[in-house]
Amino acid sequence: MIDVEIEDAAWTDAQPDAELLARAAAAAVLAHELRSDAIVTVLLTDDAVVRDLNARFRKRDAATNVLSFPAAANPQGLLGDVALAYGVCAREAAEQGKPLAHHLQHLVAHGVLHLLGYDHLSDPEAEEMEALEREVLAGLGVPDPYAAGEDDHDGP
């Protein structure tokens, strides 16, 4: 089950199908990883909320594009939560010359992969994670987000 909560109307103002896009990206990752029965929540919110979450849980007092919060092991199959900041995501999409829809789906996929235990702390880990992102996104019709050398996510 994928629950998408839209806390900032800017998401649907700019991208009316934001909920469907987020749900499709999360579902594509879960299907790819044979975890279609898992439960994920995606929060589409604003920069202030993500900044607060980042400060409280990562000790980084700044907004970021996406945060992932893995759940502790549980019998319900809850993987965790992913939160995206509208302002940061919209600015990055514009700077990188890509549709917000594509950036949204990339960052949701990226966040769900983190919930599944993937990371990008080392070059080999980053290469593995980026390859999975490319594969999942291609299935959604989203071009390679790294083709122009963009780095769509913050470091560790």
| CATH code of residue 109 | 3.40.390.30
Q: How far apart are CA 84 and CA 67, in angstroms?
A: 7
- Domain carrying residue 19: 2-139
Residue 155 has pLDDT above 60, yes or no: no
- The pLDDT value recorded for residue 18 is 98
* Helix H or strand E segment including 95: helix 86-96
pTM, two decimal places: 0.93
Q: Over the stretch 3-21, which tens digit does the pLDDT of each residue have?
A: 999 999 999 999 999 999 9
Question: How do strand 66-70 and strand 78-85 relate by DSSP bridges?
Answer: antiparallel
pLDDT digit string, tens, across residues 25-76: 999 999 999 999 999 999 999 999 999 999 999 999 999 999 999 999 999 9
CB 151 within 8 A of CB 66: no
68 located within any domain: yes
In the chain, the number of structural domains is 1
For 34, the 3-state DSSP assignment is coil
For 45, the enclosing helix (H) or strand (E) is strand 39-45
